[in-house]
């Protein structure tokens, strides 16, 4: 059986652990770990756990079912959207490029909502689609076998799966996707969900050293797991974002010495700002991480056999290291869209809040949609800025919106207005976030205690609440979500339980926002309105 827990919904009630202690575990106060592929003898326990979940976040053998609970905004019932009147829902052709979480979720929603036409999924990885969050957590610790990460129920989708096939081009006018082997797949409507890949170590020779790894795919996780299990030397983590910090946490759990290097002022500072990042830094050091902030790795050195031996840091340190994990973020998989005439570039694929992709001129297309890590869409709650969100929850929520809109007429379209929610589990602490913490000028600890590592941090921008981050306090997150949705004033100045004696907003020190498509150079040609065109000038990065 396949189990998926929507950890964006999970509030840490732990009822599943009571019901099925061999499948679900809470190693800290709130972080939930689980085996997504438990043996059949656990079925009864898992079904009990599913029934008992107070927020109904446990999905068994499905990726799209009834979504219970109060939704962040009113959706029409899923089956209420009528056909566009052209028979598309019965006999149309939908192609989804990208067969990971967003693509698979969209396929499941299309079928749930009654799309009966042909459905093709194209994915460049040869495996059945799998869930990535465990790769930097329970897979890496060895608690969970790698093959258990497979996503549920794909055979029942009645879809054609072209796995291990890379899409290399898109012909928008001819409505065709080109594959690496030269084949072409025709579509009536297309979903772009090709996501992102790990950003490699920029020095190719150093990146090729044995022991230098990234972590994004199941192969990456296999190789890294093997190294962590077999060696005992120092691990260097380059980049203290969420992936890097989670890897560092796993290393400490396994008793491996680990050095974390980040060019920024603190771990997680890129996502949560320097203030909360500073707390993350304390936590890392308490757990024995050798943390170097405001530091870069200036070189990786190998031996004669090409094995990684040492790292040189900008602060003058030279370290003997056995493994280096490159956690420098992601590169969006837009290469195959080059020349297609869409608003695609290093920033991702531009689309409207209904997931319809913009062409390079900024005009919305009718039949091409985008969802997941690759999509960049305007969010009304954030001054209509275009956001690309590389979160599990966003992939799931946005894919549902895209799928719905692909089979609905324009009066029934939904907008992707859900606030971003993400989570991370590291050093025994469950970190959750709602809103956009980088969209802030101030931050305040509104509840709990930093010293106890249990608190709610609230972010504000120009006097309104824009985000909240909890450390082991997930049950309060929805309250702050509503404050964000209602543009409540910042700082929150009401009496409440668990409020610290003093509530002092401080500068959030988030990284400066840069223009969405910074660096994109466009040439506009033509004179008559009918022939004006924009062309993106590609430059080597």
Partner 1 sequence: MAETSVFARILDYANRADPYPLYAELRETPVLRVDGRYVVSTYREVVELLHDPRISSIREEDVAGGGPSDGESLPGLPPAFIRRDPPDHDRVRRVAMRHFGPPRSPGRVEGMRGALSEIVTGLIDGFADRTRVDVVDDFAYPLPVTAICRLLGVPTEDEPRFRVWAAALVEAIDPRAGEATQRRRVEAGLELRAYLDELAEARLRQPSGDLLSALVTDDGVEGAMSRDELLSTASLLLVAGHETTVNLITNGMLTLLRHPAELDRLRRDPGRVVPLVEELLRYEPPVQMLPQRTALDDIEIAGTTIPKGATITLVLAAADRDPGHFPDPDRFDPDRADKEHLGFGGGIHFCFGAPLARLETRLALSALASRLENPRLVADPPPYRENVALRGPRHLLIEFDGVAPPPGT
Contact predicate 369/402, CB 8 Å:
yes
Q: Does 497 bind partner 1 (CB under 8 A)?
A: yes
Tell me whether residue 100 or residue 138 sits nearer to partner 1 (CB atom). Answer: 138
Q: How far apart are CA 264 and CA 314, in angstroms?
A: 13
Hey, what are 219's tokens?
Answer: 């192969």
Is 112 one of the binding residues for partner 1 (CB under 8 A)?
Answer: no
Rounded Cα distance between 414 and 416, Å, is 7
Helix (H, G, I), strand (E, B) or coil at 452: coil
Q: Which stretch binds partner 1 (CB under 8 A): 139-147, 334-342, 343-351, 445-453?
A: 445-453
**Which lies closer to partner 1 via its Cβ, residue 249 or residue 438?**
249
The DSSP code for 179 is E
Task: Decide if residue 454 touches partner 1 (CB under 8 A).
Answer: yes
Q: Which of 4, 5, 19, 97 binds partner 1 (CB under 8 A)?
A: 19
Is residue 44 involved in binding partner 1 (CB under 8 A)?
Answer: yes
65 binds partner 1 (CB under 8 A): yes
60 scored as a contact of partner 1 (CB under 8 A) = no
Q: Which of 5, 10, 15, 444 binds partner 1 (CB under 8 A)?
A: 15
- Which of 134, 420, 448, 505 forms a contact with partner 1 (CB under 8 A)? 448
In which residue are the tokens 């207005």 written? Answer: 417
By CB under 8 A, is residue 121 in contact with partner 1? no
Interface with partner 1, residue 14, by CB under 8 A: yes
Burial class, 287, CB count within 10 angstroms (exposed 0-12 / middle 13-18 / buried 19+): middle
Write out the DSSP string of 263-287: SSSSTTHHHHHHHHHHHHHHHHHHT
| Burial of 62 (C-beta count, 10 Å sphere; 0-12/13-18/19+) | middle
The region of 51-59, 150-158, 327-335, 366-374 touching partner 1 under the rule CB under 8 A is 51-59
Q: Is 1 in the site for partner 1 (CB under 8 A)?
A: no
Q: Which two tokens stand for residue 332?
A: 């969006």
Residue 90's SS3 state is helix
Q: How far is the CB of 385 from partner 1 (least distance, A)?
A: 28
Closest separation in Å from C-beta 69 to partner 1: 5
Site for partner 1 contains 54 (CB under 8 A): yes
CA angle, residues 419, 425, 426, in degrees to nearest 5: 135
Which member of 5, 7, 10, 17 binds partner 1 (CB under 8 A)? 17
Min dist. Cβ of residue 207 to partner 1 (A): 39
Which range in 40-48, 123-131, 184-192, 290-298 contacts partner 1 by CB under 8 A? 40-48
Told to check if 449 binds partner 1 by CB under 8 A, we report yes
Q: Quote the Cα angle for 385-389-394, to 5°.
A: 115
49: enclosing H helix or E strand:
helix 43-52
308, β-bridge pairs: 302
> What are the residues binding partner 1 (CB under 8 A)?
13-15, 17-19, 21, 25-29, 44, 47-48, 51-56, 65-66, 68-70, 447-449, 452, 454, 475-476, 478-479, 482, 494-499
């Amino acid at each position: 059986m396949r189990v998926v827990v929507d950890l964006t919904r999970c509030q840490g009630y732990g009822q599943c652990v009571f019901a099925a202690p061999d499948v679900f575990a809470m190693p800290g106060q709130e972080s939930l770990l689980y085996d997504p592929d438990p043996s059949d003898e656990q079925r009864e326990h898992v079904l009990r756990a599913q029934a008992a979940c107070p927020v109904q976040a446990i999905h068994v053998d499905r990726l799209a079912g009834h979504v219970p609970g109060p939704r962040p905004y009113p959706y029409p019932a899923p089956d209420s959207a009528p056909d566009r009147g052209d028979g598309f829902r019965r006999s149309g052709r939908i192609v989804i490029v990208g067969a990971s979480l967003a693509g698979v979720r969209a396929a499941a929603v299309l079928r749930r909502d009654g799309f009966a036409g042909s459905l093709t999924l194209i994915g460049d990885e040869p495996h059945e689609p799998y869930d990535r969050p465990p790769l930097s957590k329970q897979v890496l610790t060895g608690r969970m076998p790698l093959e258990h990460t497979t996503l549920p129920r794909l055979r029942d989708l009645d879809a054609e799966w072209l796995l291990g096939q890379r899409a290399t081009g898109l012909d928008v006018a001819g409505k065709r996707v080109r594959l690496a082997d030269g084949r072409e797949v025709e579509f009536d409507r297309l979903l772009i969900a090709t996501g992102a890949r790990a950003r490699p170590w920029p020095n190719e020779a150093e990146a090729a050293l044995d022991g230098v790894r990234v972590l994004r795919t199941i192969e990456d996780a296999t190789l890294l797991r093997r190294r962590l299990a077999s060696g005992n030397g120092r691990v260097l983590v380059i980049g203290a974002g969420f992936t890097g910090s989670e890897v560092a946490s796993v290393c400490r759990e396994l008793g491996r010495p680990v050095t974390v290097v980040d060019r920024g002022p603190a771990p997680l500072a890129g996502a949560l700002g320097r203030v909360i990042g500073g707390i993350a830094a304390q936590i890392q050091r308490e757990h024995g991480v050798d943390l170097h902030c405001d530091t870069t790795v200036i070189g990786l050195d190998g031996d004669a056999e090409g094995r990684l031996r040492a790292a040189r840091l900008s602060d003058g340190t030279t370290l003997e290291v056995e493994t280096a994990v490159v956690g420098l973020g992601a590169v969006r998989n837009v290469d195959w869209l080059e020349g297609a005439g869409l608003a695609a570039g290093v920033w991702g694929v531009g689309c409207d809040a209904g997931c319809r992709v913009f062409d390079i001129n900024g005009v919305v297309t009718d039949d091409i949609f985008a969802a997941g890590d690759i999509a960049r869409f305007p969010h009304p709650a954030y001054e209509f800025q275009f956001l690309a969100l590389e979160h599990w929850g966003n992939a799931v929520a946005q894919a549902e919106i895209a799928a719905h809109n692909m089979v609905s007429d324009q009066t029934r379209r939904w907008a992707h207005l859900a606030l971003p929610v993400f989570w991370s589990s590291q050093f025994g602490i469950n970190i959750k976030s709602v809103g956009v913490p980088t969209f802030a000028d101030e931050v305040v600890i509104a509840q709990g205690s930093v010293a106890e590592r249990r608190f709610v941090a609230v972010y504000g921008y120009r006097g309104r609440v824009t985000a909240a981050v909890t450390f082991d306090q997930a049950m309060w997150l929805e309250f702050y979500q509503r404050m964000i949705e209602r543009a409540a004033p910042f700082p929150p100045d009401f009496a409440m339980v668990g409020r610290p004696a003093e509530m002092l907003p401080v500068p959030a020190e988030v990284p400066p926002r840069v223009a969405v498509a910074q660096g994109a150079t466009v040439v506009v040609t033509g004179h008559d309105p009918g022939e004006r065109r924009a062309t993106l000038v590609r430059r080597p990065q």
